[in-house]
Amino acid sequence: MKELVIDMPTKEQAQTVLGQVMVRAMQHNYCDLMEAHGNADRVDEAMQRLFGDSWLKARENIWQWYDKEVAREVL
């Protein structure tokens, strides 16, 4: 009989997954807020209140993602 082995993620792997989930949450919220308000400055302030330092670290990448993937689809 084979022994069941469950690989537990390392701390680094868990942090990577958490970071990816956080970025997806920020992307989703950014899209929703842009759709509702359409004002990038106002949305930036709201995102900073919601996500704090995580937003400040990721916002440039999310803005680029939004411009490339989302805003292009609207045009």
3-62 per-position pLDDT tens digit? 877 777 888 988 999 999 999 999 999 999 999 999 999 999 999 999 999 999 999 999
In a domain, 49, yes or no: yes
How many residues in the chain? 75
Listed in sequence order, the residues at least 6 apart from 69 whose beta carbon sits closer than 8 Å to its beta carbon are none
- The string of pLDDT tens digits covering residues 46-58 is 999 999 999 999 9
Q: What is the dihedral of CA 50, 52, 55, 56, to 10 degrees?
A: 150
Q: Is residue 3 part of a domain?
A: no
CB atoms within 10 A of CB 29: 17
Answer yes or no: is 23 within a domain. Answer: yes
Domains of the chain: total = 1
Domain that holds residue 63: 16-74
The answer to whether residue 5 sits within a structural domain is no
